[in-house]
Structure 1
């Protein structure tokens, strides 16, 4: 495996920013170093050859950025999170005539579909709209199709049961050509679109924002910028959901939220 050094990685970050405008400088270095080294090994390149490749611009640099970003999730990942959303958030939001949710960093759409199922079982789906965004158009294209392998669905079904789902997960998809295809009625209230948390701005006001397992890839300065974006995207008394390894600490917005669930890092905007 090709192993880059940190000083080489910094030069690569600068070059990608100059070519594409995409800035990796806020991402955690160990993760970037592993991914860049893996990219070079996979494509049998050394660093000078990578520079020549990405300097073509266009698809070459775009594909490199896609492989450098993280795009993995599961349906009903962390089942206790969805139990808490049902009992502590949806019971609060049920009084709203319209509900807007934002899944930031949605990967292939697993959490968006999970949230759609949760809303449907709570009787709130028809007045809800889920915005699911990611940096990668490749994974968004997959998310829009709503197609998953049957092997993954076994894991997703286990998560769903642990999340105290009211039915069987198989009620929400059909099988075609050995793939699981999510119900069209679930997809109609989900909007999948491109959004870069590190560079793009506020695009709506939400009652709930889920940005789980995304902050861990940013450094402190970048996290603060993203927290500002999430704060400004939430309506008053809206809910912010982070991953189990993430926290509002050092965000600069600690006083603007109250803790709903300290273990799951669920917060409510209070000022």
Structure 2
């Protein structure tokens, strides 16, 4: 088990040497992930971990990948996606162009889920989906559009529960143990690294999704990131958070109204 002062040193080194800022991540959660990393990599001491980070940039990429949470699936929380399909996408049909930001998107399953729904709503041709994450390794997968074939049964069930009407297998080609989604989806995606802690707004969007990322930040950082989203969202745009996240006590709460009581979707009114 690493000590609090060890964690502070690690955070400082990652920021000063590589620019990764974990300073306002929830300490208990971050400490658990560092301890898990040391077990996985069989590191005998914190000093060994620190040495490898300082001397090996490729190992540091591995560390960042382990410290950032990369748990996702297609059409995760199907009812949320059904609400987007039924209550949000029809209103976007009047827009000449649609921009959607998936912030902290990990390996991109949710980005492809949105692309499929946009196509079914006949909106994909005039849409751009911006897929960003702190971790450069995981977002490379979005450009490939390849996911484990073993996951497709679950994803298909999620898709149907989210209001999908087609055969989910129409959207990908199966080869060996992998499912490759059709290139027309990734052609509508802009993939980039983006640090929610330190990077600025880069466009104006109709929808911003950032699900199950804020729960790992402390209150100060949550407010900072929510302000970034507010600056990036057009009036009457939609902000979609994770199931355990909320705007209720944030600095931007008064400008938003919750779209559906059960779903974590807010609309910007001011």
With the shorter chain as reference, the TM-score category is over 0.9
Question: Secondary structure at the residue paired with 1:252?
Answer: coil
Q: Tell me, in whole angstroms, the C-alpha distance in 2 between the residues paired with 1:191 and 1:50.
A: 34
Residue correspondences, number: 269
Equivalent in the alignment of 2:32:
34
1: distance between equivalents of 2:248 and 2:3?
31
Q: Match of 1:198? A: 197
Q: Where in structure 1 are there 5+ consecutive unaligned residues?
A: none
Q: For residue 252 of structure 1, report the CA deviation from its aligned partner.
A: 0.2
Give CA deviations for 1:35-68 in whole Å, capped at 9, x if unaligned.
1011111222110111111112532323322221
CA distance in 2, matches of 1:178, 1:216: 33
**Cα displacement (A) at 1:138:** 0.9
- For residues 178 and 41 of structure 1, what CA distance do their matches in structure 2 show? 29
Q: Secondary structure at the match of 2:59?
A: helix
Alpha-carbon separation, structure 2, partners of 1:23 and 1:72: 20
Counterpart of 1:155 in structure 2 is 154
Is 1:244–1:263's contact at 8 Å kept on the other side of the alignment? Answer: no
Secondary structure of the residue aligned to 1:74 is: coil
Task: Give me the whole-angstrom Cα distance separating, in 1, the residues matched to 2:20 and 2:135.
Answer: 12
Matched, 1:132 2:110: no
- 8 Å contact 2:15–2:22 — kept in the other structure? yes
Q: Equivalent residue for 1:24?
A: 22
Structure 1, residues 71-122: CA drift from partner, whole Å, max 9, x if none?
1200000000011001211121111111000011111110000000011111
User: 1:87-166 counterparts in 2 under 5 A?
Assistant: 87-166=86-165
Are the aligned partners of 1:19 and 1:57 in contact in 2 as well (CA < 8 Å)? no
Q: Tell whether the 8 Å contact from 1:20 to 1:57 is kept in structure 2 after alignment.
A: no
- In 2, Cα distance between equivalents of 1:145 and 1:62: 19
Structure 1 residues 234-249: aligned runs within 5 Å: 234-249=233-248
- TM-score, normalised to structure 1, is 0.95
RMSD (CA atoms): 1.3
Match of 1:228 in 2: 227
Q: Residues of 2 paired with 1:191 and 1:166: CA distance?
A: 27
Moved more, 70-79 or 7-16: 7-16
Counterpart for residue 60 of structure 1: 59
The answer for unaligned runs of 5 or more in structure 2 is: none
Q: Residues of 1 paired with 2:78 and 2:60: CA distance?
A: 37
Q: How far apart, in 1, do the equivalents of 2:267 and 2:8 lie?
A: 37
Equivalence for 1:10 = 8
Alignment of 1:70-89 (within 5 A): 70-89=69-88
State how far apart, in whole Å, the 1-side matches of 2:260 and 2:118 are.
20
